[in-house]
Structure 1
Amino acid sequence: MTTVYDDRRRAVDQRDRRADGTFYYAVPTTDVYNRPSCVTRPPARDPLLIFDTTVEAEAAGFRPCLRCRPDQSTLHERHTAAVVRACRVIENMHDAPSLDDLADAAGFSRFHFHRVFRAMTGLTPHSYITACRSQRMRAELSRADSVTSAIYDAGFNSNGRFYATSPEILGMTPMSFRAGGEGTRVHRHVARCSMGFALVAAADRGVCAVLLGEDVGTLLHQLRRWFPHAAISEASEAFAAQVDEALFLAEPPLAARALPDDVRGTVLRQRIRAALRDRDTSVTADAGSGLMVLRDAVAGNAG
């Protein structure tokens, strides 16, 4: 079994730029610390000292390498920080922010921000806004006094706007979702993904849950807590195959691995939903067997 040190040593040996900013290293026989991608590769037999931050490295008596300049932000790190700032603005605002608002928060022009955001996440800013508002809606339905209250508390400006998209958000009627899936059949499939495991569940109107985590048992328990009154069963082979393909095609760009786990989770869940949705895709249920069939699901970038 590989250790964290093994993974970081491999990143250094491969000069993996994706690891830049996640840790720094130094060779005990030198007086400098480096980025994992530094062109100065350490001797294969020399052990490495690993530091999580530049502050730790300098406190240990090392100075920054003059080649890779680990004490200065790279373009990738600046892009990551800008995207995270924009995501936090989206998550913390009740009303959807404009593209100009997000670009200002990121410190970029409108066009450059949109391009950077999509390159890092595989989503447009609008799709991330949609994902966050949909997450709020599902949470509000379980605690609001009424469906109408949940709609406005989640940030929808009108009932009509919500009901037009409710099948994509809930996969069932709002009343059924609010009642824990009462009277609904839910079919679920679990498969591996870049964040551990993904559980995808569908009801009569579409996908009703996309859950991510490291433990399958925990995901199954969470699904049961969401829908305690639904008839939950394993998916058919047809549905499972569609989900497996969607999971493969929905993985975000490698750049997304630098984002915080909660942001990565929102991105991956939204991309999975988008991969199972297409203009010509139909989601049907066999009334006799309750079998869900997702036909012609085509993966693609959300937004």
Structure 2
Amino acid sequence: MKAIRLHGFGGPEVLRHEEVPVPEPGPGEVLVRVHAAGLNPPDWYAREGMPDVPPELRPPFALPLIPGTDISGVVEAVAPGVDGFAAGDEVFGLLRFPAALQAGAYAEYVTAPASDLALKPASVDHVQAAALPMSGLTAWQYLIELGHDHPSPFQEARHRPMALGEGTTVLVNGAAGGVGHLALQLAKWKGARVVAVASGAHEAFLRELGADEFIDYTKERPEEAVRDLDLVLDTVGGPHSRRFLRTLRRGGALYPVYFGEFDDEENAALGVTVTATQVRANGAQLAELGQLLDAGTLRVAIDSTFPLADVRTAHARAARGHIRGKIVLETRA
């Protein structure tokens, strides 16, 4: 089969389109003929060798490796003992994450734990389905239901999503991105009022998805434009996430997807909660997201698509930023 492999770390030029053996499914796994693979930030972090992560915290990578975690395709074979899937089923999933930060999705075939997969709705094409898993599950596990008891590398306490509904105001920072545009729609589905933060070029797109208010961060600072929010989902996160603390009412919460540095005493004085988690593969939750997609309640925006062989161009597109929705590789037309 054709696959993309890394033999060393660096820029998009280290991604190689090569011939490799088709993997064999082990116990509890299925073999999937991949039609499309979604791109996610961990893909380029791994490609670069995670230079910003301290060596003692850096996960081990055995080279060469095939990147990618998000797929949509067709079940080719099922290992003994697997129930719920059969050859010919159309499926999609986030594979092995975070146990394996890269799971071999940039390939024509991949093995997948059956528990990581969901049946793809017939109304949803493979590109849309491949774009959903990591971003959709991140939004779901932050906002709707965590769905597991695994400890987070970011905090000792278990993340508990705030109940959303009428009378709840949620700000989504980075609202046009992969996680952001899905989180906006999930918050609206739950009845919340949503403030979307992005650059001005995305305003019409985000209002179409249901944003009640829009803040163009290139023209005004969102932390100065709003107050008394119930929840901020900061999909950008990192060291600048603290600026959103004072936008919250007492009892409010800040969820930074990329955790930064916070002061517990400051949070307590403001009466707010700062909490995060790490997305985990979950086929059952993905099936629920698929139902919302099938019903038209949720929409996955596709920034761009590229053939598998053009993976370097896809990663170069990701590096330019300002992505609207998701980037997807197609292994089959």
Band of TM-score, shorter chain: under 0.3
The structure with higher relative contact order (CA 8 Å, sep 6+) is 2
TM-score by structure 1 length? Answer: 0.27
Higher helix share: 1
TM-score by structure 2 length? Answer: 0.25
Q: Which protein has the larger Cα radius of gyration, Structure 1 or Structure 2? A: 1
Higher strand share: 2
